[in-house]
Chain A
Amino acid sequence: NAGVTQTPKFRILKIGQSMTLQCTQDMNHNYMYWYRQDPGMGLKLIYYSVGAGITDKGEVPNGYNVSRSTTEDFPLRLELAAPSQTSVYFCASTNSRGILTDTQYFGPGTRLTVL
């Protein structure tokens, strides 16, 4: 199993540009999450999904959109990039019983810079 994979690893965007961060997991996990990690800060939850077709906002959803058409994929969309979105983005997944009882697996991250 590859686990959780994210692409791209690095990206530089200009203000106002759009992009999609890709996340795929091959563990058949129902729960998937997107976090951002700013320097010196912990991870903050952007969006999460408890299954295909179901998504919900986390702590910092503004400026982002998600979709979950399959169990495996959970892309994160930035429509109008802003410098405040410069961060490292992590995707994670866990099994259907949730965080309390199952390990949450993180991808390697996407480092995004908006200039």
Chain B
Amino acid sequence: TQLLEQSPQFLSIQEGENLTVYCNSSSVFSSLQWYRQEPGEGPVLLVTVVTGGEVKKLKRLTFQFGDARKDSSLHITAAQPGDTGLYLCAGVTQGGSEKLVFGKGTKLTVNP
């Protein structure tokens, strides 16, 4: 069974601070996705990283895929209260039908 470990599980910071969320596995994935989930709603895809070492930027969010395609990180610069939510990483399994393996998520609270 492929597992994704996310850390930290909870993060509470002040507006304007920077933060990094980590997603680690002992397994190799075809690609890795990051989702953001608001209370009472389904996850919404933020980004997909495909190539080992790939870095993608989405405004104040920077996503990185590890060289070995086993880990990823999400860095938020100058966090804002609107960034509050549950951030989930999900690895796309290799071979056969593509399926997602989700981490447990990081619950981020940005205080004004």
Chain A residues within CB distance 8 Å of chain B: 4, 33, 35, 40-45, 48, 50, 56, 58-59, 90, 92, 98-100, 103-104, 106-109
Residue contact B40 to A42, C-beta cutoff 8 Å: no
**Inter-chain contacts of A4 with B (CB < 8 A):** 42
Number of cross-chain contacts by CB at 8 Å? 59
Identify the B interface with A (CB < 8 A).
1, 4, 6, 9, 30-31, 33, 40-45, 48, 50, 88, 90, 92, 97-100, 102-105
A-B contact pairs, 7 of them (CB 8 A): A33-B99, A45-B99, A90-B43, A104-B45, A106-B42, A108-B40, A108-B41
Known: A50-B97, A98-B98, A100-B50. A42 touches B42 (CB 8 A): no
Whole-angstrom distance between the alpha carbons of A42 and B35 in the complex? 11
